[in-house]
Chains A and B, each alone.
Chain A
Amino acid sequence: MIKFHPTSQQLNKFSDGLLTPAEALMISAHCDMCPQCSSKVMLYTEAHSETLFEDNSQTFDADLFGSMMADITSGEVDRGIASDPQNRVIELDGRKFTLPRSLNRLSESMGNWSHMVGKLWQAPVNIGGDTVANFIFMEKGGGVPEHTHRGSEMTLVVNGEFSDGLANYSSGDFTVMDDQKIHTPSTTSDEGCLVFSVIDAPLHFTSGWARLINPFSHLFFK
């Protein structure tokens, strides 16, 4: 049961194509897993299209549009090739995870899994820009040391469950963390937990030995 959804405002902007690419990607992947938000998006999309096409202030100007139309209809019709919309499956240590469809193409170029501190695994996904995306897998009993954020951190649970001292999350849940929140993600479930995470600045560790790695945190969670 998904408990954490994007806000209505986020879904609305998403349907209008106005979110930043990284945010749009996260919302889209959530919608792949969440029928409730996905139907909201359909309604918003319909509303946007109504608004757009209600405006009839422009008349058809043959000078402006005539050649454009001729141009369009004179070209060869290229049907392209049908693609198989199957969801991609990624693997870690014999475990298999089916990804939300929106992550299909980008996950094709994901980096190798690297084993990190605290029963954590991380595989980078290059989505370009200033944001850093990773698949993070927490083995049972594993977790990320307590930290806050200099920017924002968006997380989508792809498979499994985890808690962070603020709440419990399970498959499909979407959360946004910022510099106001300190949390300690970890999992106690036997299957572990796979999340997809996007951050726009390195994490800032707040307790114990983990503070020592702050100067290098960009090397770990980047």
Chain B
Amino acid sequence: MLIGITLENNKPDVRKPKDCAAEMAAHLDTVAKERCKASFAKVFGYFAPRLRSYALKQMGNEAIAMELVQDTMSNVWQKAHLFNAEKGSPSTWIFTIARNIRFDMLRKLKNRKEDVCSDDMWPILCEQTADPKEKSLEEKVTLQQVGELFNQLPEKQKAVIEAIYIEGKSQQEVADELEIPLGTVKSRTRLALQRLKDMLETHD
């Protein structure tokens, strides 16, 4: 599990972020494509201790600092496919993830009532529809096929998808209309889209 880590124990990696940017970008790529734990260990080994010092300074509390490190690194693992080396270095990407988590944490810790979250301003972890893989998938499927698959969805999911994607309503509007919680609309949308996607992928 911890291959490559034990060796580096006690011997800090003193390289500057710039000096290992290319190497870290390559590791992130492997994590994205193969969920490679050894590559993730390299990224983790370099960034986690640094994030911890930062988090300790910022939050002044060991438990909260470790939560910040864990949330950040967990996103790096989960969302490695969203890292784009053309847009910036691995260290900048990881910093923005940590900053967003800290922003949302501080808002809660300070008991601020503002309903402004980091995703509103920095949507770095939002999945992009413009993924070339998804596009080619779309091109392969005709509208009629989608229609057939759509009809196979459970009624409740169908109603939500219809309102959002065909009638162009917002999730909130759908929730009000159907008198169900917003969270339910979100989960139905998600389940339905996931289901459609699965069906499309097994379709050809």
Contacts and interface: CB of A to CB of B under 8 A. Distances in A.
A66 B127 contact: no
Interface stretch (A19-27, A139-147, A178-186, A208-216): A19-27
Contacts of B116: 21-22, 24-25, 106, 127-128
A82 B134 contact: yes
Interface in A34-66: 42, 45-46, 48-50, 52-62, 64-66
B83 interface: no
Contacts of B47: 53
Contact of A68 (B70, B103, B107): B70
A17 interface: yes
Contacts of B194: 81
A219 interface: no
B190 interface: yes
Given A77-B35, A81-B190, A106-B115, A55 B9 contact: no
Main secondary structure of the interface of B (DSSP, over half): helix
Contact of B120 (A61, A69, A102, A126): A102
A62 B6 contact: yes
A173 B204 CA distance: 51
Contacts of A122: none
Contact of A62 (B2, B77, B98): B2
Contacts of B126: 82-83, 85
Interface string B49-85: 1111110000000000010011001100110010000
Interface residues of B, number: 74
Contact of A50 (B11, B12, B18, B70): B18
Contacts, number: 187
B35 A53 contact: no
B9 to A, nearest CB: 6
Contacts of A52: 50-51, 54, 91, 95, 98
A164 interface: no
A84 B164 CA distance: 12
The 8 closest A-B pairs by CB, nearest first: A49-B95, A58-B49, A21-B116, A28-B121, A21-B114, A129-B114, A82-B127, A128-B115
Interface of A: 15-17, 20-22, 24-25, 28, 42, 45-46, 48-50, 52-62, 64-66, 68-73, 75, 77-85, 101-106, 108-109, 126-131
Given A45-B96, A79-B81, 19 more contacts: A42-B88, A45-B95, A52-B50, A53-B17, A56-B13, A56-B49, A56-B50, A60-B13, A61-B9, A65-B48, A68-B73, A69-B5, A69-B40, A73-B35, A73-B37, A85-B129, A102-B121, A108-B170, A131-B114
